[in-house]
Amino acid sequence: MENAASPFWCRAMKSPDAFQQEQQQLGKLWTFLGFETEIPAVNDWFRATLGGKSIFVQRFETGLRAFENRCAHRFYPLRTEDKGNGPIVCGFHHWRYNAEGLALGIPVCQEMFDKTPREMDARLPQVELAQCGNMIFGRFPGGPSGSLQEWLGDAFDILAVIANVDERHTHITSEVQANWKLMMGITLDDYHLVAVHPSTFGKKGYLGRDYTRYFRLGSHSAYLADAGSETPESMAAACREKRYVPTAYRIFQIFPTLVISHV
C-alpha cells in the first residue's frame, strides 16, 4: 500500500496517477522546447513534449506558434514525425488549421455538421511561447504568472549568450529507463566521476571542496568548477555587458527539464 505521508515528488516516481498529475503541473511552467534555428523557413515545424503531452512548434508568416499535437475533431496526431515542413492538415479527415489553430478548412462541413467552419470554432489547444536568444520555451495556461525572463532570473542573460548561435544543431537521442528527476539529479553529482568517468572527469581523482561550488538561482541551480570568485550573478552581469569569457566547466539545471553543460 502506498504511503500517503511520503512526499509527492517521491510518489510521482512510483505511482502512474501521481506521475501524470505531476506532468500536468510541470507543463504549466516555462519548459525548453527547441531552437529557433531548427525551423528557419515558413511552415517548418518540430515536435516536442510538454507536460507529458505531444506538441509541435511551427513557423508561420506571422511568427512562431505552438499547439497540442491532436486534431480537434477526433484527436488524431497532426504531426507524426519529429520535424518537417507543411501546413497543419490532419491526416485522418483533412481538417486544415490556420496560424491561430482555428480549423477553417473542413471538408463538406455544411453537409456533415450543418455549420460553417467559423461557426464550428474548432481550435487546437495553444501553447504560450517565449524566447531566450535562440532557445524556445513554452508552457500551457494556468501556471504561475510571470515572463520567461522572470522565471529564469540571472540564468536568462547567461543562456541568451551561450546558446545564441546561428548554426543548425546535431541531435543525439538516447532513451533512459529512469524517472526524469533521477536524470536531473545526477548532473549535479560530482561524487560519481571516478567510478563512471575514470578516463575523463575522474582521471585526477575525487574533486576537492575548493574546486566544486554549487549555487541556487531561484527555482534553478548551477555547478561551477574551479570558479574562484565567480558566481552565477557575476556571470550574468558579464553576459549583459558582453564581456563574458568562458574559463571552466559549468552546469546549469533549468527546472524542470533542461540541463546545459558549458565547456
pLDDT in tens, 122-169: 999 999 999 999 999 999 999 999 999 999 999 999 999 988 766 666
Per mean pLDDT, which range of 59-68, 110-119, 178-187 is the poorest?
178-187
**Which residues, at least 6 apart from 121, have a Cβ–Cβ distance to it below 8 Å?**
102
105 CB-contact burial (10 Å; exposed 0-12 / middle 13-18 / buried 19+): middle
Q: Which helix (H) or strand (E) holds 238?
A: helix 232-240
Backbone angles phi, psi at 141, to 5 degrees: -65, 155
The pLDDT of residue 185 is 87
β-partners of residue 188 are none
β-partners of residue 215 are 222
The pLDDT of residue 1 is 43
* Spatial separation of the C-alpha atoms in residues 158 and 238, rounded to whole Å: 9
What grid cell was written down for 249? 566547466
What grid cell was written down for 174? 538516447
* Spatial separation of the C-alpha atoms in residues 53 and 79, rounded to whole Å: 13
What grid cell was written down for 231? 558566481
Q: Quick one: pLDDT band at residue 249, thresholds 50, 70, 90? A: confident
Query: Contact at 8 Å (CB) between 48 and 56?
Result: yes
